[in-house]
Structure 1
Amino acid sequence: MNRSRPLLLAAVISLVLAGCSGGESGGSGGSGPKAAKTELKLYNDKGAWSKYFDEMGALSKQQIGLSMKPVGYTDEPTYQAFIKASFRTDVKPDLFTWTTGGRLVEIVAQKQVAETTALWQEAIKNGDLSTELAEYYTVGGKQYCVPLNAAYWGMFYNKKIFDQHGLQPPKTWDDLIKIADTLKQNDVKAFYHTSVLFSFVWFEQLLAGTDPDLYDRLSTGQAKYTDPGVVQVMEKWKSMIDAGYFTNPGDKTDPGDVLKTGKAAMLSFGTWFNTSMTQRSMKAGSDYGFFVIPNVNAALPKTSMIFESGPLCSLAKAPDPEASTKYLKWWVSSAAQEKWATARGDVSANPKVAIADEAIAEVGKSAGSGEYRLVNRYFEATPPPVLTAALDGFGAFVVKPDGYQKVLADIQVAADEYWSTHKQGG
């Protein structure tokens, strides 16, 4: 991953310079008051969702007289480089997607993102957002951005493969391993994994399902990647790779196609992945299903469930701050969220919105009622410099599992450097 970043950054800088010369809105040229915007551009790292963003743009034009055009990226490093470059140039997005956790704290500290405290207070009062969700958007006692989406992580599975081999969703971790063994005996790869971006998925799942307290301490610098409990998780992960349960991590096939074609019988993703299934005309209940991944440690009082919420943000110096705020207020409303959740077949950050998919709806309901122990997704929970080292390390590990001890040691070097200048414990 590191070798590609200089090239990606160079490409982004070229795009930014080209945009500056092209008269993108938000430039400093001209004089006199600017006319209020009637269309906003939403820059995002979810290029596959363009269809759904387009539908939301049409709905917002109808309901609040303000349309939205998505500008989607599919390469995460390129996208993040572009957004950070916009802080220093005249090419500024009206709206943009980001992540909570350390990356949000980072841009708030740079005073680049607009505060949304008043918006949150009003939405919570109206029942459009929850106080529980607000903590993920709070930095220094103030709120920033609004939820683009909320998602719970579990396992999507190819129901036809399960039916073919007489398999049922597992109740325990041992059940899951028995399923993997059965599939292996029939020359079917049980699980999908990858060496890029989502290389952290199995690390977070195994650690959260083994010792969620250790997971939390690791993310706040109170534990080390070289601690015995973390090493044991890597050894379990290695044993699963060695057993042949996983697909080739270098395979570039889209995960949606992996599940549809049966290259792997199961994929661990957030409920937002349901969109990939509906895009491929796959039907819940007949073509695919979803189950909560059992804990590795059966003695834990609650099943650990990975949770994430992705922000929709506005810059502090947005081209038209009033228009951007108006759009964010509309976005969290029931009218907007009903369309957004239904179109993608996912849960909504708005508690008032009903979910059509029964399995997804049940997970959302159970998670909201406290049945599961919600664990903040590793991507958001881990400080950015440590995350960068971890993504590289896990990406190398899935290709060469024997090197897990060096991988952990290298990540800990980045963690030591970060926590030496930051307060531990959050």
Structure 2
Amino acid sequence: MSHSLRMAAAAAALVCSSFAGAGTLTIESWRVDDKGLWEDVLLPAFYKAHPGITVKFAPTAPPEYNSALNARLTAGTAGDLVTCRPFDVSLDLYKKGHLDKLNGNPALKNFPESAQVAWQTDDGRDTYCVPMASVIHGFFYNKKVFAELGLNPPVTEADFFNVLDKVKAAGKVAPIAMGTADQWETHQIVYTGIGPNYWKGEEGRKALIAGKKKFTDPEFVKTWDVMGKWANYLPKGYQAQTYGDSQNLFGSGRAAIYPAGSWDISYFEGNSKVEFGAFKPPVAKAGDPCYISDHTDIAMGVNSKSKNKSDAQVFLNWLASKEFADLYTNKVTGFFSLSNHAIDVKNPVAKEMIGWRNQCKSTIRLNAQIMSRGTPSMENEFWNVNSQVMNGKMAPKDAAAQIQNGFAKWYAPAK
């Protein structure tokens, strides 16, 4: 080989070696609405520190995500990184060997144990996804209406109904912007939002799983009792009112209070001129400790068949960084990083809601872990009985009995 050829070969080898750890990663996700966010904000930030790695965000529409992802994982054509839904859906992927075990992974060091539960085996021994964000439940209130009526955000259950009574007496707007037509809000926002203050959050949730508590116990029945009282303050024809109708009612200034998930912040910021604030679920009585539903929502795992796991780990480390926590929390308003990093939240309503973590104990939606695996489906049962209670068609004690009886049919500790 001539001297010039040897020099060219050496130069080529040097160039190749400089990219030895680089490659392309593909992210599987159901968040089709986040495509612009990833491509315009998040990934450019990642590239600044890791210019040799290319990342493709390839989402699938939410209804098809689970089945399509399963098919690709089975065929060996799925992306390197898998966006993980909480609990059973991702646990099933792990049990099938589709997700890597992440025990001891350095990316997990920045997350408290409570944030990891949604992506762990039932016994807590194995973790398979790095937590990203949660949503928080509470209430939004129309600041103008409250100011005109001389009202303050309620702290206790008695305060809450006192506010509702005054709004109703004034007769200008609906006290609560909510309907029961879609049913899911009665459970995922209301029952699991206000209930933790009665069943003491994780204490009550774990006691149900252990069989030490039943849904017929007073603290669970009490939650249905409070919900039943809401009927007096809901808009006329609320039984036919959808989630979208409720958003429009509050967003147009025709309601004082809106039972909310933090994801609703973005909707009202973009579709309403109403100035609104947030207050946390009222406690039963003055002096009681408070609890919030801080529900684990999204995480990221590694496809066990990925051919680029070194770069996948680099990406997981970045997901666990303060930079990502700040970006995600401030750009995806209403979705809060689950990491231990201190975050300077820009949106005032989001800042109020994330601040509740420092005032109250966090829990997750009551039946998210283990309790919705059997038949009848507890999730579907909750939608049904909760809407019936709010419609005045079912007594709280009967709602409790139906949920408990259904749970006991398939779950031995609940018998």
What CA distance in whole angstroms lies between the structure 1 residues aligned with 2:367 and 2:38?
24
Question: Which amino acid letter does the alignment assign opposite residue 178 of structure 2?
Answer: Y
Structure label with greater radius of gyration: 2
Distance 1:49 1:418, change over 3 A: farther
Match of 2:216 in 1: 226
Alignment of 1:337-416 (within 5 A): 337-346=325-334, 347-350=336-339, 351-361=341-351, 363-365=353-355, 367-368=357-358, 371-378=359-366, 380-381=368-369, 383-385=371-373, 389-401=377-389, 402-404=393-395, 407-416=399-408
What CA distance in whole angstroms lies between the structure 2 residues aligned with 1:74 and 1:219?
29
Question: Which amino acid letter does the alignment assign opposite residue 155 of structure 1?
Answer: F
Distance 1:378 1:102, change over 3 A: farther
Q: Deviations over 1:265-292 (max 9, x none)?
A: 333334343333344476xxx7111111
Task: Indicate conservation of the 8 Å contact 2:28/2:78, yes or no.
Answer: no
1:131, CA displacement in angstroms?
4.9
1:325, CA displacement in angstroms?
3.3
1:382, CA displacement in angstroms?
5.1
| Aligned residue among 158, 161, 173 for 2:142 | 158
Match of 1:129 in 2: 111
Match of 1:9 in 2: none
1:114, CA displacement in angstroms?
2.2
Question: Which amino acid letter does the alignment assign opposite residue 164 of structure 2?
Answer: A
Match of 1:115 in 2: 101
Match of 1:205 in 2: 193
What CA distance in whole angstroms lies between the structure 2 residues aligned with 1:400 and 1:134?
34
Q: Deviations over 1:212-256 (max 9, x none)?
A: 244442244432233444334323322222553694465151765
- Is 1:304 the counterpart of 2:291? The answer is yes
- Is 1:177 the counterpart of 2:169? The answer is no
Question: Which amino acid letter does the alignment assign opposite residue 60 of structure 1?
Answer: F
| Aligned residue among 315, 331, 336 for 2:324 | 336
What CA distance in whole angstroms lies between the structure 2 residues aligned with 1:260 and 1:320?
48
Task: Indicate conservation of the 8 Å contact 2:84/2:301, yes or no.
Answer: no
Distance 1:254 1:115, change over 3 A: farther
| SS of aligned partner of 1:182 | helix
| SS of aligned partner of 1:396 | helix
What CA distance in whole angstroms lies between the structure 1 residues aligned with 2:74 and 2:325?
33
Match of 2:8 in 1: none
Distance 1:399 1:123, change over 3 A: closer
Identity of aligned residues (%): 15
What CA distance in whole angstroms lies between the structure 2 residues aligned with 1:318 and 1:158?
51
| SS of aligned partner of 1:305 | strand
CA RMSD, Structure 1 to Structure 2 (Å): 3.5
1:303, CA displacement in angstroms?
0.8
Question: Which amino acid letter does the alignment assign opposite residue 180 of structure 1?
Answer: L
Alignment of 1:64-79 (within 5 A): 64=50, 65-71=53-59, 73-75=61-63, 78-79=64-65
1:317, CA displacement in angstroms?
3.0
Task: Indicate conservation of the 8 Å contact 1:249/1:399, yes or no.
Answer: no
Segments of 5+ residues of structure 2 without an aligned counterpart are 1-20
What CA distance in whole angstroms lies between the structure 1 residues aligned with 2:198 and 2:128?
33
- Is 1:259 the counterpart of 2:250? The answer is yes
Distance 1:324 1:197, change over 3 A: farther
| SS of aligned partner of 1:411 | helix
Distance 1:222 1:250, change over 3 A: farther
TM-score normalized by the length of structure 2: 0.75
Of stretches 398-407 and 290-299 in structure 1, the one that deviates more from structure 2 is 398-407
Of stretches 268-277 and 142-151 in structure 1, the one that deviates more from structure 2 is 268-277
Distance 1:80 1:333, change over 3 A: same
Question: Which amino acid letter does the alignment assign opposite residue 264 of structure 2?
Answer: F
TM-score normalized by the length of structure 1: 0.74
Task: Indicate conservation of the 8 Å contact 1:73/1:79, yes or no.
Answer: yes
1:310, CA displacement in angstroms?
2.3
1:70, CA displacement in angstroms?
4.7
Task: Indicate conservation of the 8 Å contact 1:210/1:297, yes or no.
Answer: no
1:47, CA displacement in angstroms?
4.2
Alignment of 1:283-322 (within 5 A): 287-298=275-286, 300=288, 302-322=289-309
1:145, CA displacement in angstroms?
0.9
| SS of aligned partner of 1:240 | helix
Question: Which amino acid letter does the alignment assign opposite residue 253 of structure 2?
Answer: G
Match of 2:38 in 1: 53
Task: Indicate conservation of the 8 Å contact 2:176/2:256, yes or no.
Answer: yes
Task: Indicate conservation of the 8 Å contact 2:80/2:303, yes or no.
Answer: no
1:91, CA displacement in angstroms?
5.1
What CA distance in whole angstroms lies between the structure 1 residues aligned with 2:178 and 2:374?
24
| Aligned residue among 223, 237, 243 for 2:227 | 237
Match of 2:3 in 1: none
Of stretches 183-192 and 379-388 in structure 1, the one that deviates more from structure 2 is 379-388
Task: Indicate conservation of the 8 Å contact 2:129/2:300, yes or no.
Answer: yes
1:149, CA displacement in angstroms?
0.7
| SS of aligned partner of 1:205 | helix
